[in-house]
Amino acid sequence: MPAHADPSEIKEILRNYTVDPAWQRELYEHLHAHPELSLQEKNTHERILKELERFDCQVVSPIGGYGIVAVFHNGEAVNGTAGPTVLFRADFDGLPVTETTGAPYASRDTATRDDGSVTGLMHACGHDMHVTALLSLCDIMDNNRQHWSGTFVALFQPGEELGRGATDMITDHLTDRIPRPDICLGQHVMPGRAGQVQTKPGPQFAACDSIRIRIPGRGAHGSMPHAAVDPTYTAAHIVLRLQGIVGREVNPRDFAVVSVGQIKAGATNNIIPDHAELVLNCRFYNDAVKNKVYEAIQRIVIAECEASGIKDEPYFEYFAHGELLDNDRGAFMTVRSTFDEVFGPDSVDSEPSTVSEDFANIPLAFGVPYIFWLIGSTPRTVWDKAVAEDRVVTDVPVNHMPTFLPEYEPTVYAATNAAAAAVLTYLATPLDRRP
């Protein structure tokens, strides 16, 4: 790629152009008020397409269901060769959470799940802010073409919460349908002082898998446990034993999480069921630890089944895989210098997080480097007070909570300008080479 623009020049570009704040706010509040479940994002998809009509770009959609890509070409680099290609991704699905923030634009929408149950809906993970920032970035790039050259790719991804959206887009020939990027970029709204831009090289988000375990048994009348082989009893022992893996088998210097998220067994009170089901969520920073933990999980499940006299083999299904989000060091150093210039003291180091993302699947599919950073979103007064009193864990709402709500002004400013600063780091034409 050509030499990067000086960070001070990028700061000047952003200082001299402001996205329409009324449009930006209306967009964000609309998205926040109307979330949709993963892979059901029809209305959000249509709203994004409508917004993209304002820009001079090529829209490729649908990709992998409701996925959208907007491609902005801007001539050639000043040396006569095609400029670099930079991809920026935002996700846009909501969660089955009933919002309790009390915001005037809080979601009151509901949805029906596959099992027929009705759930509240909420953008409890900040994806509404992600879309607002990326569409704002499209506005910046479209209205500042004199300052950059190359190709900017805006990718809007559904289904992140299920760990499927990126894979679905890739399966639907994403890599053949859009320009191959030289680098992929992304960001996520997280707890932290609103307006801070948090970056680090190396692992940022954990790799993850879900594991569905079916424990066989023999059903009987609830009054005759001696005639049954009770899989619920076995499942209870398995749950207890699983909690010892991280504490007793994983080196304390390593990171691992094994959480039992679901326990299902039986349909009524007077029938001992013929099977039980556990659904686990597991997270790691490296494959060696992952393999050790998975061997332990299978050993424990099989042993407990044998101890209960269960003759059939338990069944293991691995799904909802998330790759380790491992930031490229060179990309970090390049982008971080721009962030430091643009944001000053609000450009800070991030800590590795235990959450997971499917963003990394996209650059891995293209075989290109990437960097993914965090945007602090906690109201500043709340964050500062919690830090001062050492009560961050108890007093600061985190993603997926019904009380999670970014402080709008500093968060949207940071998310928009961080996205623009990173993209312009690679695409901005150095001042001395502009026409």
Domain harbouring 251, CATH code = 3.30.70.360
- CATH number of the domain bearing residue 341: 3.40.630.10
Long-range contacts of the stretch 179-182 (C-beta < 8 A, 24+): 179/71, 179/85, 179/151, 179/153, 180/85, 180/366, 180/368, 181/85, 181/86, 181/87, 181/153, 181/363, 181/366, 181/368, 182/1, 182/84, 182/85, 182/86, 182/368, 182/426
- The pLDDT score that the predictor gives to residue 1 is 56
Residue of 216, 255, 209 whose CA lies nearest to 238: 216
> Is pLDDT at 126 greater than 60 in this prediction?
yes
289-322 burial: b if 16+ Cβ within 10 Å, else e:
bbebbbebbeebbeebbeebebeeebeeeeebeb
Is the domain of 94 the same as that of 221?
no
Amino acid at 245: I
Range of the domain at 240: 207-321
In the predicted model, what is the mean pLDDT of residues 89-105? Answer: 98
Helix (H) or strand (E) run with residue 70 in it: strand 67-74
The predicted model scores a pTM of 0.91
Structure tokens at 156: 């809007």
| Domain final position from 277, 300, 321 | 321
Q: What's the pLDDT tens digit per position in 57-70?
A: 999 999 999 999 99
Give the confidence band of 3 by pLDDT, cuts at 50, 70, 90. low
How many other CB atoms are found less than 10 A from the CB of residue 365? 16
Is the domain of 49 the same as that of 177?
yes
What is the distance between the alpha carbons of residues 435 and 429, in angstroms, rounded to a whole number? 10
How many other CB atoms are found less than 10 A from the CB of residue 348? 17
| Domain final position from 264, 299, 321 | 321
> Average model confidence (pLDDT) for the chain?
95
How many other CB atoms are found less than 10 A from the CB of residue 239? 14
> Is pLDDT at 160 greater than 80 in this prediction?
yes
Q: What's the pLDDT tens digit per position in 263-314?
A: 999 999 999 999 999 999 999 999 999 999 999 999 999 999 999 999 999 9
| Domains contained in the chain, number | 2
Decide if 210 contacts 281 (C-beta within 8 A): yes
Give the confidence band of 113 by pLDDT, cuts at 50, 70, 90. confident
In the predicted model, what is the mean pLDDT of residues 110-117? Answer: 88
| Domain final position from 321, 339, 374 | 321
Is the domain of 262 the same as that of 299?
yes
- The pLDDT score that the predictor gives to residue 114 is 80
- The pLDDT score that the predictor gives to residue 431 is 58
In the predicted model, what is the mean pLDDT of residues 98-109? Answer: 98
What is the distance between the alpha carbons of residues 95 and 148, in angstroms, rounded to a whole number? 37
Residue of 150, 140, 181 whose CA lies nearest to 76: 150
Is the domain of 175 the same as that of 218?
no
- The pLDDT score that the predictor gives to residue 80 is 46
Q: Which residue has the higher pLDDT, 322 or 143?
A: 143
> Is pLDDT at 415 greater than 90 in this prediction?
yes
Is the domain of 293 the same as that of 368?
no
Q: Which residue has the higher pLDDT, 398 or 432?
A: 398
- The pLDDT score that the predictor gives to residue 4 is 77
